[in-house]
A and B are shown apart, each in its own frame.
Chain A
Amino acid sequence: DGGITQSPKYLFRKEGQNVTLSCEQNLNHDAMYWYRQDPGQGLRLIYYSQIVNDFQKGDIAEGYSVSREKKESFPLTVTSAQKNPTAFYLCASSTGQSNEKLFFGSGTQLSVL
Chain B
Amino acid sequence: RKEVEQDPGPFNVPEGATVAFNCTYSNSASQSFFWYRQDCRKEPKLLMSVYSSGNEDGRFTAQLNRASQYISLLIRDSKLSDSATYLCVVRAPYGQNFVFGPGTRLSVLP
Contact = CB atoms under 8 A, between A and B. Distances in A.
B1 interface: no
Given A45-B97, A98-B31, A101-B34, A106 B44 contact: no
Contacts of B45: 104
Given A98-B31, A98-B94, A105 B43 contact: yes
A102 B89 contact: yes
A48 B97 CA distance: 9
A104 B98 CA distance: 13
Contacts of A105: 43
A106 B97 contact: no
A55 interface: no
Contacts of B11: none
A33 interface: yes
Interface residues of B, number: 24
B71 interface: no
B103 A107 contact: no
Contact of A90 (B32, B34, B44, B93): B44
A41 interface: yes
B18 to A, nearest CB: 25
A109 B46 CA distance: 21
Contacts of B87: 42-43
B102 A106 contact: no
Interface of A: 33, 35, 40-43, 45, 48, 50, 58, 88, 90, 98-107, 109
12 contacts: A40-B8, A48-B97, A98-B31, A98-B94, A99-B31, A99-B32, A101-B46, A102-B34, A102-B36, A102-B89, A104-B43, A104-B45
